Amino acid sequence: MALRRIVEQGEDCLNKKCRPVTEFNPRLYTLLDDLVETLSEAGGAGLAAPQVGVLRRVCVVMDEETEEYIELINPKIIFQSGEQTGPEGCLSVPGKWGLVTRPNYVRVQAQDRNGSWFELEGEGLIARCFCHELEHLDGHLYTEHIDRFLTDEEVEAYFSQEEGEG
Ligand code: NI
């Protein structure tokens, strides 16, 4: 495993549509392991392959309930419902946050590292994360959905409010 450099907004690979994974081989396993290690080191909620310069439909998402990383290959959203608006950040846009409206519930279909298809669902924060990471695979960033970045005070207010709600 190795840490990879996280590319930042403005670099071309973040604006490209990624290609599907067709070969489930050691090269893919290394990419997945590196994504997990890089995400773990950076302390984010999710990381997509284009964020480390690899234009393949691969991402990893942190499951806060189990504290495990979910590997998603060729993922797609097959059902979504509801709506949530909240602060969102991205490791490729360091130190910034913006308000984004997303579905509150999504069901995702994806392949695991062996190529087997599975489905999973998420609500709230992890649903937001699935949407954010999948969007990366089509070359989009959350910043396309915001009017402006939040101020530090606004970000603090949002997160302290969430903690208060338990
Ligand atoms: Ni991101």
User: pLDDT over 90 for what percent of the chain?
Assistant: 92
- Tell whether the model's pLDDT for residue 1 goes beyond 90: no
59: left (phi over 0), alpha (psi -120 to 50) or beta: beta
The rounded Å distance from CA 160 to ligand 1 centre is 22
Mean pLDDT within 2-11: 96
Per-residue pLDDT, averaged over 153-160, amounts to 90
Structure confidence by residue, pLDDT tens digits, 66-118:
989 999 999 999 999 999 999 999 999 999 999 999 999 999 999 999 999 99
Type of residue found at 58: V
Q: How far is the CA of 124 from the centre of ligand 1 (A)?
A: 17
Which pTM was predicted?
0.94
Q: What is the pLDDT of residue 109?
A: 98
The pLDDT value given to residue 148: 93
Sign of CA dihedral 154, 156, 158, 160: negative
Say what the alpha-carbon torsion angle 104, 165, 96, 47 is, to the nearest 10 degrees: -50
44 CA to centre of ligand 1 in angstroms: 9
Eight-state DSSP code of residue 163: H
38: confidence class by pLDDT, cuts 50, 70, 90 = very high
Q: What is the number of other CB atoms lying within 10 angstroms of the CB of residue 66?
A: 8
DSSP for residue 57: S
Q: Average model confidence (pLDDT) for the chain? A: 95
At 115 the pLDDT is: 98
Instruction: Using the Cα atoms of residue 123, residue 91, residue 60 and residue 36 in order, give the sign of their dihedral.
Output: negative
Q: What is the mean pLDDT of residues 35-55?
A: 97
pLDDT at 161 over 90: no
Q: Cα(46) to centroid of ligand 1, in Å?
A: 7
Reported as a pLDDT band with limits 50, 70 and 90, residue 166 is very low
Task: Choose among 141, 142, 137: nearest CA to 58.
Answer: 137
Decide if 119 is catalytic.
Answer: no
Say which of 71, 88, 133, 135 is annotated catalytic.
133
Mapping DSSP to helix (H, G, I), strand (E, B) and coil, where does residue 23 land? coil
